[in-house]
Structure 1
Amino acid sequence: MAEQLLKSKNVLLTGASRGIGSAIAEIYAKHGARLYIVARDEEKLAGVAEKCKELGSPEVSIIQADLTKGDDLVRVAAEVGGDLDVLVNNAGMAATGGILQGNPDEWEKIVMLNLVTPMKLTGLFAPALTSRKGYIINISSVAGLHAIKGQAPYCASKWGMTGWSLTCLEDLKEHGVGVTAIFPAYVESDMTASASFPSDQMIRPEDIAQAALLPFRMSRYAVPSEIVVRNAVRPQ
């Protein structure tokens, strides 16, 4: 029988309809996780759910939600309930302009989805995660480690995620909860479709999914608090 690192574990994954989110959903499905997948696009979620069932997930629940809305967050928490083992905060969005060209209203949306939403979800599920000695995966970005010209709002949200994730680990590890932040560079996805970085040199979503599986390969004595994944094109 194939190794199943997440057998019978209940996982909530946001931003699961595409890119990194769908890749994580698929690799977790292969490892036996029961999945709650969340995104705004219900049709795409249905496709991801079907694939995850084919790959071995015993149960996949679709939750269509706009996570920038407080009522939707509460509804997600109610649908998942108190039996959560793993929370993956993946949903996010990028900026479309720098400080001089950008729209402050858009900046607020970026900070809300990229930072405030994960904070709120963590708060809502912290009691369940502590009672079950669960795990939190936060998908950040290298933009949370250093400045990127023209991406100030995005960097601000991801720097906030860095501080949030590392502090959550300090607060929750005494309760048996692990927290990992993953910092990808350019990943091939809809979000990076207009990036100047060559698409044929971008990280694949499946690479980040492997990083999201790493914590479950380790013993309870170790936690990879920060995983940085850089772009690298190696000779074949």
Structure 2
Amino acid sequence: VTVAILVGYGFYVPFDPASFKGQRVIVTGASTGIGEQLAYFYAKHGANVVIVARNEKRMQNVVSKCKSLGAESANYIKADMAETKDAYFGQVIEKSVAFLGGGLDTLVLNHVVDKGAWDQDGYYGKFDMDNLKWLYHVNFFSYVSMAQQSIAHLEKTAGRIITVGSAAGRTGLPKVAEYSSSKHALFGYFESLRYDMRGKSSKVSITTCTIGSIDTENARKGTKDANIPGFMWHPADVCAETIAIGGQARVYNVFYPFAQTYPIFILRSFPKLAEFVIEQFGFE
């Protein structure tokens, strides 16, 4: 029982490298950062990979490296996750599945806004409703649409949905009000969807990932004006490995880095304590 509980919460995850061989995987936001490293992880374990992003030149480079690492196949699709039409995301999924030979085993939803997350003080100065809507289209609505458009394919393979979220989606944090709210919505939707699918005896698993400060180009750009004493960066490749292994093992929740993200998950039950801890970081 103890082991089962630990696995369910992402403390311990069994790793079977052979289980990735031949898997058909879509990774969004994979032209850089965590998504790029996810593509490489799946590739070196012999999966078929389709990456989805906006930067075509970068995706070409990622696909080339995936092939050199040992992917059974690697392709890319240029797409804008700020789109507002379900049909658009349906086309992205269908094109991806065609590249994958007609099936899908794992959908990894990892894309995120490429604008500085630390530019959204919720109190005064910078609120813009149009920007908020755009942020929600990228960080939330596109996730929902991509998942819904893929479920029919995933049901055929007892597949996996992996959503990459943020510690800011587990508790409110200073200066990220809009970003944080979109990530709260993400966790709320997919954790509820998991219940709904289990209630229908679906074999599709949903893994939600709570991610902290990962050393990527976009993350550094997004926090360049934040004065956070003792701020630590963590490697994107290890983060990607943790996400992929957790999703493959069908755990419900993945936390990385654990020491940074899991306490935030727990502190939600103690809001005054959470406020005190967060204020110790000295956000300015």
TM-score (norm 2): 0.74
The residue type paired with residue 202 of structure 1 is W
- Give 1:39 shift: 0.4
Query: 1:137-175: CA deviations, max 9, x gaps?
Result: 100000110111111111111001111121222223421
The aligned counterpart of 2:11 is none
Q: Distance in 2 between matches of 1:54 and 1:64?
A: 21
The aligned counterpart of 2:242 is 211
CA 1:184–1:198: 2 relative to 1, 3 Å: farther
Q: 1:85 aligns with which of 75, 85, 105?
A: 105
Q: Give 1:1-236 correspondences, 5 Å limit.
A: 3-69=17-83, 70=85, 72-81=88-97, 83-93=103-113, 95=117, 96-99=119-122, 100=124, 101-173=126-198, 174-194=201-221, 195=223, 196=226, 197=228, 201-215=232-246, 218=249, 223-230=250-257
Q: Distance in 1 between matches of 2:50 and 2:20?
A: 14
CA 1:217–1:13: 2 relative to 1, 3 Å: closer
- Give 1:17 shift: 0.1
**Counterpart of 1:201 in 2: which secondary structure?**
coil
The residue type paired with residue 204 of structure 1 is P
Range that drifts further, 101-110 or 194-203: 194-203
Q: Distance in 1 between matches of 2:229 and 2:219?
A: 10
Q: Distance in 1 between matches of 2:112 and 2:79?
A: 13
Query: 1:9-50: CA deviations, max 9, x gaps?
Result: 111110000000001000011111101100000000011101
Q: Distance in 2 between matches of 1:10 and 1:57?
A: 10
The residue type paired with residue 109 of structure 2 is N
State whether residues 5 and 216 of structure 1, in contact with CA within 8 Å, keep that contact through their aligned partners in structure 2.
no
CA 1:216–1:228: 2 relative to 1, 3 Å: closer
The residue type paired with residue 83 of structure 1 is G
The residue type paired with residue 133 of structure 1 is A
State whether residues 77 and 96 of structure 2, in contact with CA within 8 Å, keep that contact through their aligned partners in structure 1.
no
The residue type paired with residue 245 of structure 2 is L
Q: What residue ranges of structure 1 are gaps of 5+ in the alignment?
A: none
Structure 1 vs Structure 2 CA RMSD: 2.2
Query: 1:110-137: CA deviations, max 9, x gaps?
Result: 1111110010011101111112100011
**Identity percentage over the alignment?**
25
**Counterpart of 1:193 in 2: which secondary structure?**
helix
Q: Distance in 2 between matches of 1:162 and 1:217?
A: 19
- Give 1:184 shift: 0.8
Q: Distance in 2 between matches of 1:84 and 1:73?
A: 15
- Give 1:200 shift: 8.0
Q: Distance in 2 between matches of 1:213 and 1:74?
A: 24
Q: Which one has a bigger Cα radius of gyration?
A: 2
**Counterpart of 1:4 in 2: which secondary structure?**
helix
Aligned length: 228
State whether residues 185 and 230 of structure 1, in contact with CA within 8 Å, keep that contact through their aligned partners in structure 2.
yes
Q: What residue ranges of structure 2 are gaps of 5+ in the alignment?
A: 1-15, 261-284
The residue type paired with residue 120 of structure 2 is G
Q: Distance in 2 between matches of 1:152 and 1:12?
A: 30
- Larger helix fraction of residues: 2
Query: 1:72-123: CA deviations, max 9, x gaps?
Result: 4232122023511100000011532212223221111111111100100111
